[in-house]
């Protein structure tokens, strides 16, 4: 079973979005961060998506994250 999509409490740089996505998809945190930075060179709503995920992804250990685990 795959890991839940949550922002971890440790290994955060800014909000933990890249670290959470890396854990969920089984890649390293550094790889996910580099991919995000490279995507910022392309036109598109990358920063808006990052902020939306920051708001929508529950933090690890929060009641919302515990409810999603079921």
Q: Tens digits of per-residue pLDDT, 43-67?
A: 999 999 999 999 999 888 777 666 6
Residues 20-24 have a mean pLDDT of 92
User: Which residues partner with 7 through β-bridges?
Assistant: 59
Is the separation of the CB atoms in 17 and 68 below 8 Å? no
Residues 11-30 have a mean pLDDT of 91
Average pLDDT value over all residues in the chain = 87
- Please give the DSSP secondary-structure letter assigned to residue 41: T
**DSSP element (H, E) containing 43:** none
Instruction: Report d(CA 40, CA 2) in Å as an integer.
Output: 27
Tokens of 32: 């996910």
Residues 26-53 have a mean pLDDT of 94
């Amino acid at each position: 079973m795959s890991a839940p999509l949550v922002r971890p409490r440790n290994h955060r740089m800014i909000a933990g979005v890249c670290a959470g996505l890396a854990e969920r998809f089984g890649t390293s945190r550094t790889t996910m961060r580099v991919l995000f930075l490279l995507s910022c060179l392309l036109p598109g709503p990358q920063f808006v998506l990052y902020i939306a995920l920051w708001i929508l992804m529950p933090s690890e250990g929060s009641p919302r994250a515990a409810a999603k685990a079921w």
